[in-house]
Amino acid sequence: MSIELDRREFLKGCCATAAIGAVGPSLLFGSPAHAAVNNHDTIVHIFLRGGIDGLNLVVPVSGNDRTHYEQARPNLSIAASGAYGALPLTLSNGSATGFGLHPSATGLNDIWADGRLAIVHCCGMQTTVTRSHFDAQLYLDLGTPGSQGNGTGWITRAWNTQPDASSQVVMPAVAVNSRTPANLLGATDALTMGSPTDFALNAGAWQWQMRRDDGYPAGFKGVNETLASLWNGQTRVERSGRAADAALRVVAQQPYTATLPASWPTSNFARQLWTVAQSIRFNLGLRYATVDLGGWDTHDGQGTAGSGYHYYQNKIAELSQALTALYGELKNSGEMARVTVVVQSEFGRRVRQNGSGGTDHGYGNPLLVFGGPVNGRRFYGTWAGLDPEILSPHFGDVPVTTDFRHVFSELLAKRMGHTRIGEVFPGYGIPSALGIVGTGVAAMAAQAAQPAVANITTHPQPAVGSSLPTAGEARTTTSRSIAFLPRSVSQPLLRWRLKLYRLMLQHRL
């Protein structure tokens, strides 16, 4: 049997495929209404791809841990004080915590002082150990440590099981990126756009794309206007074309601007967060946003802080300045009260510096949470310390004492109203809340019947004035069960997707 395809059908099919690949069909619905303080919460997920060195972001500045830190990093340690010393992190009563922020993180320090930044010590994958960027990032994106066979990202499952999920929500999730990250794998109603000003069908000669203000003959219709009139039938291509065309129009109708506010930094990461800020501000129903910031894989030439060029000094400044701009923008306009930002990396770096002036792949890492609902200016989780005897069972790494899903589960339950956490993170028992955020528009989810996957200790705060337990207190690590779970990828299509994802990451990092 031969199949005939005329030029009209070919044009429709090509454009529909290109457009629908970047948008979800639910974007067909909704109005172009604009700014309003949202009556729902939004979680903004920042993924620091490459493995940030958490020990040079959140620095031990006192006690025996300071000695161990300096011994392990004779050329990379951040000074405890002075012009390029760590910014001391104090509690709301002024008491010392034994930790400070990298001196380039002045904005994050301001958010801490504002009481809206919380730091979760020794966070990560508590049930799976890997030093592979590709495996670790995929485990975190899928929300299934040890398994890559789920087929959907954790944000996809979060929206699919959201109590107030509706096809009438115009933009429930957005990735401000050039590609769709794996945490949105399987999403049918999420949007991926590197920049809203570039979110358009722009193939072919510029002057033929659409009618503009002048220079066109009477009755001229551009390619885009012509396509919009072709989606009248009920074939799958035509239905997809209508949805994609409507999505393009919804985004085009919002007053997005590429011009950054005067107080914002001008990095690409800041521009991505500006897109997030505008998307939150517009009445599009945004619940989840995700942004990547790469460049953290510093096996050599990492640098510390001081005069001259120091790579990490500049990277942390880029991170801190952009996050602070986002916080200030949304706080001033009232939206920050319902926004929670979580900053995560796939793993930390080794405690001991390597011979190339850098750090190699490690394990545990600090996780940052900030926003209006956050009970900040304090640490959460358990800090095990840097004593070599403590690190030895973990191959010299900072151990993971708090599972990242513990934090995410609390955010979903207390801020997003989730009651089906087990479907977002399969096989994970919900532990008691850490108390990082207050209860928002939804009540706290009931405790699940199944036990948690890990024993979480009940010491949420490092000892005041030191990064070690107080004298006489037993110095123990958290009881953990490390399991190397087999990969389970059975579907050929999923295997192909994972292979492609790895190749993309390989070229990115």
Summarised one tens digit per residue, pLDDT across range 143-181 is: 999 999 889 999 999 999 999 888 788 889 999 998 999
Among 192-196, 225-229, 477-481, 489-493, the minimum mean pLDDT is found in 477-481
Signed CA dihedral, 490, 492, 493, 496: sign only: positive
**Contact by Cβ (8 Å): 290, 175:** yes
State residue 345's pLDDT score: 98
The Cα angle at residue 344 between residues 342 and 346, in degrees rounded to 5: 160
263, two tokens: 């107080």
Among 53-67, 156-170, 291-305, 367-381, the minimum mean pLDDT is found in 156-170
State residue 491's pLDDT score: 38
- Identify which of 201, 155, 169 has the alpha carbon closest to the alpha carbon of residue 22: 201
Q: Residue 476: CB partners within 8 Å, gap ≥ 6?
A: none
- Identify which of 165, 160, 138 has the alpha carbon closest to the alpha carbon of residue 149: 138
Give the C-alpha separation, 83 to 431, whole Å. 42
Among 33-47, 161-175, 260-274, 467-481, the minimum mean pLDDT is found in 467-481
Res 402 pLDDT > 70: yes
**Strand 87-90 with 96-101, pairing:** antiparallel
Mean pLDDT value across the chain: 80
Percent over 70 (pLDDT), the chain = 71
Cα 398 off chain centre by: 22
- Identify which of 22, 66, 56 has the alpha carbon closest to the alpha carbon of residue 315: 56
- Identify which of 304, 272, 380 has the alpha carbon closest to the alpha carbon of residue 75: 304
Res 473 pLDDT > 80: no
- Identify which of 481, 459, 462 has the alpha carbon closest to the alpha carbon of residue 470: 462
pTM of the entire structure? 0.78
User: How many residues in total does the chain contain?
Assistant: 509
What SS3 state is found at 88?
A: strand
Q: Check residues 214 and 501 and name the one with the higher pLDDT.
A: 214
State residue 230's pLDDT score: 67
**Strand 378-380 with 87-90, pairing:** unpaired
